[in-house]
Chains A and B, each alone.
Chain A
Amino acid sequence: MNTRQAIFLIVATAAFAAIPLFVSSPFAITVLTTIFLWTYLSSSWNLLGGMTGLLSFGHAVFLGVGAYCSAFFFIKFGWHPLIGGAIGVAASCVLGYAIAYVSARYNLVHLHFALVTTAIGQIAVFTAMGIEIIGGPSGISLPIRATPAQLFFRNPAVYYWIFLLMSAGVIALTMIIRHRRMGLYFLCVRESEPAALGAGIDVVHQKLLATVISAALTAAGGVIYAQFLRFLDPDSIFSWLVSLQMVIPAMLGGSYAILGPAVGSAIFVSLQELTRTVVSFAGAPLVIVGLVLIPVVRFMPKGLVPSVGAVLRRRRAKPQRLGAASAAVGSLTKLPKVSHQDAEVILRVEGLRKRFGGVQAIDDVTLHCREGERLAIIGPNGAGKSTLFALLGGFIKPDSGSIWFAGDRIDGLGANQVCRRGLARTFQTAQPFKELSVLDNILASTFLRAPTHRDAVRAAHEILELFELNNFAPEKALDLNIIDQKRLELARAYATQPRLILLDEVGAGLTGPELKQLITVLASLNASHGTTIIFIEHIMSMVRELAERVIVLHHGEILAGGSLDEISSDPTVIRAYLGESTLAA
């Protein structure tokens, strides 16, 4: 959270807090209270749904657990609502942890997560109906004899102030999280899980964290909600409609925007309340909500706040762009002819095998790579090169064989752990975090090694400089052209400060000068930082200039290895590339 945001939030909260002093209409206060209630709940939902992209359609469960625990312990044992509430929040955390753990463990994303949470919501409804001690289907009431110390206020404005403060609190929390490593990691999980793993981010951990925070906040909301409603029944607390009421404001306002849920709630609640005063038709408020939501989603699929923001941004002049080709092409540094033959072996692969259905993608591959070496892997399409990289990077698990990196066995480790140990990769088709700025894309990687936030930002700027991406720093990665996206991909991998970097066809599609520039950058990384490079490439000129040693992969097996000259005179290699007749001719 920066100072401007903090001041804005404080001023806005103060202004809203003053409203009950001037407005005495109970109706207006009720509407405002409801707006901030849903602002709070929707913002809490958005910490999970908007930031990590895990669409929970069952957040009413957390709300309900908080509300029911607080009410139950108060009524049955006379415990203070906050004590029961604390139990509820704790229970929600445990439940959220369990749901997130199972989902992450079995990789339930997208629709599957939405359906699982929907079903859990339904289970909660029927469970609550079956438990007589909490009133079963008919529900429970909180005693009206309670005192203000027990959170029962006869002045409705007090609930308004509570929900207002809670909303301000959760928005401030969102702002703080967003500007820290945690928030950036959440967004990375949303944008691309493979890329997040590739940047060394523990995706499972981020999902657990986001779910537990969101569940706890929602349950805390439920505690106050119970005091506000004074009557709880399974249908009005646990039902799917309640879960959707947290999702809809976020969507209306824009789930990518911090203030989106607040704006959405204001519209969502006022629409319903206004309709209610005008027409007496039973379902009218939600019909109107539906009718408004349809065009909003249809024409502004990202929600109101980001869409309006985009229009405003378009008015501002676009920054001057420097084409990649126009950038000065550095003179090719002569590669040092140091032999790495005596250097330590940094990567050793033994008897690696991987089968996909009927295809033996990798068949008994054994290879090694020495510290500081520049090793090219070539081979026809479908030879298993990218599969080999995926195995090395920990993105898929081998059927058998072992991978040793810097003395440790790394097969079986997750991709993020492999990255932490200093083995980074790029993807053949660039996998940037599309909706994030170029700077954030790099920051996601530099956070891995930087001790403080400031160090990470400084490192990110250095990387931007090195890869000549400074002009694009504020742009969304999505808006870069393919070549710049590839450069970003390389920059992201490099920003994790790897000892060994795996490059998957980074040269493909580049023009001559661009290729030269790329080779220069790679060569200088190798020379100055001693970064070991293993690269897959079809462009032979790049292989000739950069590679010390070449390995040919064919049908998942290593066909030959050695210098490019040795390889290119090997008959088996020629046969694999060009077919039998070439040799006969």
Chain B
Amino acid sequence: MLNATLQGIVSGALVGGMYATVGIGLTLIFGVVRIVNFAHGSFLMAAAYCSWLLFVHFQVDPYLSAVIVVPAFFLIGVAYYWVLMKPMVGQSLLAQALITIAVSYVIENSALGMFGSEMRVVSMPYSILSVSIGPIVVPYTRLIAGVIGLAATTGMYLVLWRSDIGIAVRAGAADQPIAEAMGINAHATQAFVTGISLACAALGGVVLLPIFAASPQMGVDFTLLSFLIIVLGGMGNFFGALVGGIILGVTESLGSTFFNGSTGHMLTFALFVILLVLKPRGILESRR
């Protein structure tokens, strides 16, 4: 019992590190561009399929494919900003939500049409290996997810808090007109942020593929999961998303240990509703 709990916490926290990266991607667009991107999970799913295709056709190692897929999604993100996000800034929430939902329809149903609804798995020799730390057994794939997730969040922290462009991004997030008046090119920074956001989603897709497998259903699941994360952490809050990701990873892992799948999911969403109602600014709110 204790071992199972410990096991659940560790493997959940490792995946949670990657969830955090995905959540930060969503929270960045929300905080900086001020648009709700309901297609976030779809981009993650698209990246997972890209990685799978590279593996199937060119035998590219799934982790190595990140080198191609993540920068590609950064560029897609920049284009996504200029073509669809920018005109929607300041429009009604309904319009913003629906244009991104429309994008998710296109991506997810294209995937359904091209690859069918079955799970696409990548199996590498190391997929089944694991490392034992005392009583806890950690699969390599989860360990890698945890390490990459941590590295990615640290990297983003350094970019956002320790660089010039980071100041520009944060200034734009705080007050866009004033930032523009101070000579910051708001559109360039917002395009950059959208690119980073999609790159985060893509990294999530690539790194989680060996753990979960790719399927069209993944898109909606991860969009909702990303919303869970950023609501937990407080929408637009970078560190909140980190905490939220890890909490969610652990809850999900413990939930599947102690409850059956659908009860676990139901409890997660019930928790989500309670948090939205009682702590609309996230669980870190009171400590600040």
With A287-B109, A297-B102 as known contacts, state yes or no: A116 contacts B266, CB within 8 Å. no
A130 to B93 alpha-carbon distance, docked (Å): 33
Contacts of A289 on B, CB cut-off 8 Å?
102, 105
Interfacial residues of chain A within 227-285, with CB under 8 A of chain B in the complex: 240-241, 244, 247-248, 251, 255, 281-285
Contact for B227 among A102, A115, A287, CB less than 8 A:
A115
- The residue of chain A having its C-beta at the shortest distance from the C-beta of B265 within the complex is A126
Contact for B102 among A49, A283, A290, CB less than 8 A:
A290
With A112-B280, A114-B97, A116-B276 as known contacts, state yes or no: A129 contacts B262, CB within 8 Å. yes
Tell me whether B113 and A287 are in contact (CB under 8 A): yes
Contacts of A541 on B, CB cut-off 8 Å?
none
Contacts of A255 on B, CB cut-off 8 Å?
94
Dominant SS at the B interface? helix
Classify chain A: how many residues form its interface, as a range.
Answer: 35 or more
Tell me whether A111 and B111 are in contact (CB under 8 A): no
Interfacial residues of chain B within 90-131, with CB under 8 A of chain A in the complex: 91-95, 97-99, 101-106, 108-113, 116-117
Contact string against A for B residues 265-288, beta-carbon threshold 8 Å, 1 for contact and 0 otherwise? 110011011001110100000000
Tell me whether A298 and B266 are in contact (CB under 8 A): no
Segment from A117-125, A377-385, A518-526 that makes contact with B: A117-125
A-B CB pair tally, cutoff 8 Å: 126
- The residue of chain A having its C-beta at the shortest distance from the C-beta of B263 within the complex is A130
With A55-B93, A282-B113 as known contacts, state yes or no: A251 contacts B98, CB within 8 Å. yes
Tell me whether A251 and B224 are in contact (CB under 8 A): no
Q: Does B88 contact A (CB under 8 A)?
A: yes
Tell me whether B98 and A118 are in contact (CB under 8 A): no
Tell me whether B276 and A112 are in contact (CB under 8 A): yes
- The residue of chain B having its C-beta at the shortest distance from the C-beta of A234 within the complex is B262
A111 to B31 alpha-carbon distance, docked (Å): 13
Tell me whether B278 and A106 are in contact (CB under 8 A): yes
- The residue of chain A having its C-beta at the shortest distance from the C-beta of B99 within the complex is A297
A127 to B273 alpha-carbon distance, docked (Å): 15
Tell me whether A122 and B269 are in contact (CB under 8 A): yes
- The residue of chain B having its C-beta at the shortest distance from the C-beta of A102 within the complex is B277
Contacts of A285 on B, CB cut-off 8 Å?
109
Tell me whether A293 and B224 are in contact (CB under 8 A): no
Q: Does A574 contact B (CB under 8 A)?
A: no
With A114-B97, A248-B98, A289-B102 as known contacts, state yes or no: A119 contacts B276, CB within 8 Å. yes
A129 to B266 alpha-carbon distance, docked (Å): 10
Q: Does B220 contact A (CB under 8 A)?
A: yes
Contacts of B224 on A, CB cut-off 8 Å?
118-119, 122, 240
Tell me whether A301 and B277 are in contact (CB under 8 A): no
A116 to B231 alpha-carbon distance, docked (Å): 11
Tell me whether B94 and A49 are in contact (CB under 8 A): yes
With A126-B263, A283-B216, A291-B106 as known contacts, state yes or no: A298 contacts B112, CB within 8 Å. no
Q: Does A436 contact B (CB under 8 A)?
A: no
A240 to B278 alpha-carbon distance, docked (Å): 24
A57 to B95 alpha-carbon distance, docked (Å): 13
Q: Does B134 contact A (CB under 8 A)?
A: no
Tell me whether A298 and B265 are in contact (CB under 8 A): no
Tell me whether B95 and A284 are in contact (CB under 8 A): no
With A123-B266, A247-B98, A298-B84 as known contacts, state yes or no: A290 contacts B220, CB within 8 Å. no
Q: Does A458 contact B (CB under 8 A)?
A: no
Q: Does B36 contact A (CB under 8 A)?
A: yes
Tell me whether A106 and B110 are in contact (CB under 8 A): no
Q: Does A108 contact B (CB under 8 A)?
A: yes
CB distance from B272 to the nearest CB of A (A): 5
With A55-B94, A248-B98, A290-B105 as known contacts, state yes or no: A284 contacts B113, CB within 8 Å. yes
A200 to B170 alpha-carbon distance, docked (Å): 40
Contacts of B111 on A, CB cut-off 8 Å?
283
CB distance from A123 to the nearest CB of B (A): 5
Residue of B87, B95, B108 ringed by the most chain A CB atoms within 10 A = B95
Q: Does A453 contact B (CB under 8 A)?
A: no
Contacts of B266 on A, CB cut-off 8 Å?
122-123, 126-127, 130
Tell me whether B112 and A283 are in contact (CB under 8 A): yes
Q: Does A110 contact B (CB under 8 A)?
A: yes
A247 to B101 alpha-carbon distance, docked (Å): 11
Interfacial residues of chain A within 292-308, with CB under 8 A of chain B in the complex: 293-294, 297-298, 301-302
Contact string against B for A residues 55-73, beta-carbon threshold 8 Å, 1 for contact and 0 otherwise? 1010000000000000000
A219 to B288 alpha-carbon distance, docked (Å): 43
A500 to B84 alpha-carbon distance, docked (Å): 49
Interfacial residues of chain A within 70-116, with CB under 8 A of chain B in the complex: 102, 106, 108, 110-112, 114-116
With A55-B93, A108-B280, A114-B93 as known contacts, state yes or no: A119 contacts B113, CB within 8 Å. no
- The residue of chain A having its C-beta at the shortest distance from the C-beta of B91 within the complex is A301
A302 to B92 alpha-carbon distance, docked (Å): 9
- The residue of chain A having its C-beta at the shortest distance from the C-beta of B105 within the complex is A290
Contacts of A248 on B, CB cut-off 8 Å?
98, 101
Tell me whether B116 and A240 are in contact (CB under 8 A): no
CB distance from B203 to the nearest CB of A (A): 24
Interfacial residues of chain A within 335-366, with CB under 8 A of chain B in the complex: none
Contacts of B104 on A, CB cut-off 8 Å?
290
Q: Does A286 contact B (CB under 8 A)?
A: yes
Tell me whether A294 and B102 are in contact (CB under 8 A): yes
Interfacial residues of chain B within 202-225, with CB under 8 A of chain A in the complex: 216, 220, 224
Contacts of B95 on A, CB cut-off 8 Å?
251, 297, 301-302
Contacts of B91 on A, CB cut-off 8 Å?
301
With A129-B262, A248-B98, A294-B102 as known contacts, state yes or no: A106 contacts B277, CB within 8 Å. yes
Contacts of A298 on B, CB cut-off 8 Å?
84, 87-88, 99
Contacts of A112 on B, CB cut-off 8 Å?
276, 280
Contacts of A114 on B, CB cut-off 8 Å?
93, 97
Contact for A284 among B92, B109, B117, B227, CB less than 8 A:
B109
Contact for B105 among A57, A122, A293, CB less than 8 A:
A293
A293 to B103 alpha-carbon distance, docked (Å): 9
A283 to B105 alpha-carbon distance, docked (Å): 9
Tell me whether B278 and A110 are in contact (CB under 8 A): no
With A114-B93, A298-B84 as known contacts, state yes or no: A290 contacts B106, CB within 8 Å. yes
A106 to B99 alpha-carbon distance, docked (Å): 28
With A123-B266, A251-B98 as known contacts, state yes or no: A116 contacts B106, CB within 8 Å. no
A137 to B113 alpha-carbon distance, docked (Å): 24
Residue of B95, B98, B117 ringed by the most chain A CB atoms within 10 A = B98
13 CB contacts below 8 A, A to B, read A112-B276, A112-B280, A115-B276, A116-B277, A119-B272, A126-B265, A251-B95, A282-B113, A283-B108, A283-B109, A290-B104, A301-B88, A302-B95
Q: Which 8 A-B pairs have the closest CB atoms?
A: A283-B109, A290-B105, A283-B112, A293-B102, A290-B106, A126-B266, A301-B95, A297-B99
- Excluding A118-B227, A282-B116, A298-B87, 9 further A-B contacts by CB distance (< 8 Å) are A111-B36, A111-B93, A119-B269, A119-B273, A240-B220, A284-B113, A287-B113, A290-B103, A297-B99
